[in-house]
């Protein structure tokens, strides 16, 4: 599993991936929020 990889190297490699996943989740949440506000605003205007 961890051939030629140290625990410190593993954590150093894991940190960027965690930040990457956090960025993806944040972007997805922002996209959903933007879409929801657009739909909500359109429904309010259509009334």
What DSSP string describes 1-47?
--TT--HHHHHHHHHHHHHHHHHHHHHHHHHHHHHHHHHHHHHHHH-
Radius of gyration of the chain (CA): 20
Cα–Cα distance for residue pair 46/44, rounded to 1 Å:
6
Q: Give 12 or 15, the one with higher predicted confidence.
A: 15
Residue 2 pLDDT greater than 80, yes or no:
no
Answer yes or no: are the C-beta atoms of 10 and 2 closer than 8 Å.
yes
Instruction: Judge if pTM exceeds 0.85.
Output: no
Tell me the per-residue pLDDT of 13-45, one tens digit each, with 9 for 90 and over: 667 898 899 999 999 999 999 999 999 999 998
């Amino acid at each position: 599993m961890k051939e030629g990889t140290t625990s410190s190297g593993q954590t150093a490699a894991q940190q960027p991936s965690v930040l990457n996943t956090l960025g993806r989740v944040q972007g997805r949440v922002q996209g959903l929020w933007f879409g929801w506000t657009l739909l909500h605003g359109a429904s309010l205007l259509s009334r």
